[in-house]
Amino acid sequence: MPFITGYDDWKEKEVVWLHIQEISLQAFRNLEPLHIQPTTGINVFYGDNAQGKTNFLESIYFCALGRSLRGKQEQQLIRFGAHESHIRLDVVRSHRTDRIDVHLKRDEKKGIAINGIAVRRLGELFGTMYAVIFSPEDLSLIKEWPAERRRFLDMELCQMSQVYFYDLQQYTRILRQRNTLLKKIKENTKLYDTLSVWDTQLAQCGEKIIAARSAFLARLDEISALCHEKLTGGKDTLKTLYKPNCEQGQLEKRLQRSLERDIAFGSTQVGPHKDDILFLVNGKEVRQFGSQGQQRTTALSARLAEITLIEEMTGEKPILLLDDVLSELDENRQRYLMQSIEGLQSFLTCTGIEDSIRRYVQTDNLFYVQNGRISRL
């Protein structure tokens, strides 16, 4: 699937409806063996905290992106006392059904298969199923360090574009090798002349990443601004800006100018691995000057914009994972969120069934979670 780096030539296209038909789990975190067939609308998983609700959402997320949504070591996903864990998920779109199998084994690499065929590289998994996660931890997108915002960029772009994933992998590999060489040059200056080869390769991959991020964020800015306006009733305006460490077309020159500094630090000081995103609410940086409510609404606007971006760039609707987010929102924001996800398959966790939820779900869409056991009402 090629990545579209410009938006002027986008064409209207029919969006493909996508949903999970069934999912089975064995020895995944604290969850008891499970096999369910969720509904195509909103599925609600409720119960007290620390019972396994988020763990269930994590199993779905893993099938979409091949990694934990909480960034933990994969060995920790295997139930305590078990030697291996298995996830099996059938995802249906209008023209086909795909089965995703994930095997996690202690002291071994994970195994992923699509329709019985082993995935050799993680990039081959992307595009089988798209997922967007909403959680209280989304505040870290606004409040934490640039690395968290780069992670947001990369995770979304990777699942929408295998090309971007491979470019990012290549850039990371070359960056690691260049940094190793920089450290060696401090001890052996004869290696200095070999740097130019790595500079050229790093610049070529880096320019592709900068272009992709720039295009993605330009469209994200447009969509999230509209979402933010509706969430706040027009009281606040949102501007999302890409802050590249190096402007497009200038990376190789910047690498050359930064060479002495790079050698002194023993690491590369310029490039897209130093990029950031700036969120402005009413013209002010929300990370520093916004209230917690404004920060939360900004994160929600960015996540809602992801839904539209995935539909535009892939022609398919994502699966939505909403981890205890309604309790953090006022009634107006709850209403807008629930209306925005209408028509999409969603998995929502909460501690209790509030009126704001009951009006959107049927009784057979409710699942009770207790001590790792999930039962349908």
pLDDT digits (tens, 9 = 90+) for 210-245: 999 999 999 999 999 999 999 999 999 999 999 999
SS3 177: helix
- Digit-coded pLDDT (tens) for 66-121: 988 776 678 889 999 999 999 999 999 888 999 999 999 998 889 999 999 999 99
pLDDT of residue 7 exceeding 70, the answer is no
Closest to 313 in 3D by CA, of 165, 169, 159: 159
Confidence class for position 8, pLDDT limits 50, 70, 90: very low
In angstroms, rounded to a whole number, what is the distance separating the alpha carbons of residues 60 and 68?
A: 10
* Neighbour-count burial of 120, counting CB atoms closer than 10 A to its CB (0-12 exposed, 13-18 middle, 19+ buried): exposed
**Angle subtended at Cα 244 by Cα 315 and Cα 68, rounded to the nearest 5 degrees:** 55
Closest to 42 in 3D by CA, of 375, 344, 307: 344
Q: Which residues pair with 231 in a beta bridge?
A: none
Per the prediction, the chain carries an average pLDDT of 90
Strand arrangement, sheet containing 276-281: 238-243, 276-281, 284-285
At residue 345, the pLDDT reads 94
Confidence class for position 186, pLDDT limits 50, 70, 90: confident
**Which residue blocks in the chain are alpha helix, DSSP H?**
53-65, 139-143, 146-160, 162-185, 195-231, 251-257, 259-265, 286-289, 292-314, 331-340, 355-358
What's the whole-number mean pLDDT along residues 7-14?
44
For residue 324, give every residue at least 6 positions away whose Cβ sits within 8 Å of its Cβ, in sequence order, or none. 53, 54, 135, 136, 349, 350, 351
pLDDT of residue 157 exceeding 70, the answer is yes
In angstroms, rounded to a whole number, what is the distance separating the alpha carbons of residues 285 and 279?
A: 6
Q: Tell me the pairing of strands 276-281 and 96-105.
A: unpaired
In angstroms, rounded to a whole number, what is the distance separating the alpha carbons of residues 34 and 96?
A: 24
pLDDT of residue 264 exceeding 70, the answer is yes
Q: Which residues pair with 70 in a beta bridge?
A: none
Closest to 320 in 3D by CA, of 293, 356, 349: 349
Burial annotation 228-264 (CB, 10 A radius, 16+ → b, else e): beebbeeebebbbebebbbeeeebbebbeebbeebbe
pLDDT of residue 247 exceeding 80, the answer is yes
Closest to 56 in 3D by CA, of 300, 362, 323: 323
pLDDT of residue 351 exceeding 90, the answer is no
- Digit-coded pLDDT (tens) for 108-129: 889 999 999 999 998 999 999 9
What's the whole-number mean pLDDT along residues 137-160?
92
At residue 194, the pLDDT reads 86
For residue 263, give every residue at least 6 positions away whose Cβ sits within 8 Å of its Cβ, in sequence order, or none. 182, 185, 186
